[in-house]
Amino acid sequence: MIKPDAVQSNSIGGILEMMNTAGFRVIAMKYTKLTAELAGEFYAVHSARPFYGELVEYMSSGPIVAAILEKENAVADFRALIGATDPAEAAEGTIRSRFAESKAKNAVHGSDSDENAAVEGEFFFSKFERF
């Protein structure tokens, strides 16, 4: 997912270019906006965290780009491409080092496992929207 801060800063194209250059193929893609309820559902796994309220408010504050990406070893390779959650700790050349503003406004989200990638793909896309 490309988050509201990166959409706002006109970084959609730059981020998609980095994904394509790194070998990720787009299976599904959508420009949309989450309600607070949907953002809360998407991040339900973090509901006990102190930053949950801020996260839900922020993720429903503006449009996002949701996508399903395909590649060998996609989860690990995508996490390497996006870099650490905190852009101050993200390695040079990563998406977050280039585009993220802060730990909360960190430009992109990537699934943390194949299992969660399947759940998160279902959250956004029907089978008719995957190619």
In 10 A of CB 108, how many CB atoms?
25
| Contact pick of 6, 34, 55, 66 for ligand CMP (by CB under 6 A) | 55
Is the C-alpha dihedral spanning 103, 104, 108, 109 positive or negative? Answer: positive
Residue 54 touches ligand CMP, criterion: CB under 6 A: yes
Cβ-based nearer residue to ligand CMP, 58 or 125: 58
Smallest gap from Cβ 96 to ligand CMP, in A, equals 9
Smallest gap from Cβ 85 to ligand CMP, in A, equals 5
Amino acid found at 73:
N
Each residue 102-121 as x (binds ligand CMP by CB under 6 A) or -, in order, gives -xx-x--x------------
d(CA 131, CA 126) in angstroms, rounded, equals: 11
Our answer to whether residue 46 is catalytic in this structure is no
Burial (CB count within 10 angstroms: exposed 0-12, middle 13-18, buried 19+), residue 87: buried
Of 15, 96, 100, 109, catalytic: 109
Asked if 12 contacts 75 with a C-beta cutoff of 8 angstroms, the reply is no
Smallest gap from Cβ 55 to ligand CMP, in A, equals 5
